[in-house]
């Protein structure tokens, strides 16, 4: 193999070594990276100095890049979103358990997040394995959930508070965006089933109101937070992390008030969940 893959936990996560992402990646090397991505769901690279053009080109190897609906991209690169928490911000972007943009008909396949500035301490991201979340459900719960779909919505929380100070109000009228997806998703590449509901974007089960749905959803929202199926990533400057939105959830810890954090994100579009 051209790369080294170092698993991080029994559940998910792997560090990739032996590749320089500032240069072009050959098809054979990318194939190894993609194999590790599919096997470990979250992969990360330390010590990478990646210019925006190279970042976009690498991201495109995972699929067509899409712009984030609620935020402008950086100058000259509309697909790169800059996510900033300033020294005076109290809330942070992504401090809820979620998979990215599941309210879209075709949610992201992969998210790439590149650390430009990080706090001295704090600001870790926790990832959870949704394959394991599904597998650890009882047979009765699996039978109940398999035929169900849910409403995934962009309007479950306010996008005008402190955590979105750096957003420019783009497409705020589209907060009503919502769609139906299965509660249990089948991965389009691995064929494995995963739990797909998340507390940030899953509004209700199809055919039920929210209050009725929460009788089931609240249990599932707590179920995904078990430490046994998680991996906690400690960010360093120039770390690039990629996660599979089809089979993971994540939570950005907001424990670094008074410190600045700057991340650059690109997202590769996926297919319609089934």
> Of 40, 100, 246, 261, which residue is the catalytic one?
100
For Cα atoms 228, 45, 103, give the angle at the middle one, nearest 5 degrees. 65
Which of 51-56's residues contact partners 24+ apart within 8 Å by CB, and which partners? Answer: 51/22, 52/76, 52/77, 52/80, 52/264, 53/77, 54/21, 54/22, 54/23, 54/24, 55/21, 55/80, 55/112, 55/114, 55/264, 55/266, 56/80, 56/266
State whether residue 198 is helix, strand or coil. coil
**Count of beta carbons in the 10 Å neighbourhood of residue 146:** 12
Query: Is the CB of residue 243 less than 8 Å from the CB of residue 41?
Result: yes
Token pair recorded at residue 73: 């991209």
Instruction: Give the Cα separation of 164 and 157 in Å (integer).
Output: 12
Token pair recorded at residue 18: 């032996």
Instruction: Give the Cα separation of 107 and 187 in Å (integer).
Output: 13
> Of 40, 98, 185, 261, which residue is the catalytic one?
98
- Annotated catalytic, 274? no
Residue 149 phi, psi (nearest 5): -120, 165
- Annotated catalytic, 17? no
> Of 201, 261, 264, 265, which residue is the catalytic one?
265
> Of 40, 246, 250, 261, which residue is the catalytic one?
250
Instruction: Give the Cα separation of 56 and 145 in Å (integer).
Output: 38
Query: Is the CB of residue 185 less than 8 Å from the CB of residue 273?
Result: yes
- Annotated catalytic, 100? yes
Provide the annotated active-site residues.
98, 100, 250, 265
């Amino acid at each position: 193999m051209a790369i080294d893959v170092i698993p991080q936990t029994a559940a998910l996560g792997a560090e990739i070594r032996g590749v320089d992402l500032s240069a072009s990646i050959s098809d054979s090397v990318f194939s190894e990276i993609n194999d590790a991505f599919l096997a470990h769901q979250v992969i990360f690279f330390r010590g990478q100095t990646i210019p925006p053009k190279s970042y976009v080109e690498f991201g495109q190897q995972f699929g067509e890049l899409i712009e984030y609906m609620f935020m402008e991209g950086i100058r000259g690169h509309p697909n790169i979103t800059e996510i900033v928490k300033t020294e005076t911000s109290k809330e942070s972007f992504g401090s809820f358990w979620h998979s990215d943009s599941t309210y879209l008909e075709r949610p992201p396949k992969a998210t790439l997040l590149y650390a430009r500035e990080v706090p001295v301490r704090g600001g870790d991201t926790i990832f959870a394995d949704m394959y394991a979340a599904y597998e650890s459900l009882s047979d009765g719960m699996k039978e109940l959930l398999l035929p169900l779909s849910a409403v995934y919505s962009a309007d479950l929380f306010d996008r005008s508070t402190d955590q979105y100070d750096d957003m420019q109000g783009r497409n705020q009228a589209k907060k009503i965006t919502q769609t139906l997806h299965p509660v249990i998703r089948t991965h389009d590449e691995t064929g494995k089933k995963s739990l797909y509901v998340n507390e940030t974007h899953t509004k209700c089960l199809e055919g039920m109101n929210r209050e009725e749905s929460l009788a089931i959803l609240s249990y599932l929202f707590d179920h995904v937070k078990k430490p046994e199926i998680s991996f906690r990533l400690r960010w360093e400057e120039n770390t690039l992390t990629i996660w599979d939105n089809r089979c993971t959830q994540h939570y950005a810890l907001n424990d670094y008030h008074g410190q600045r954090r700057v991340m650059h994100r690109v997202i590769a579009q996926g297919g319609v969940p089934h």
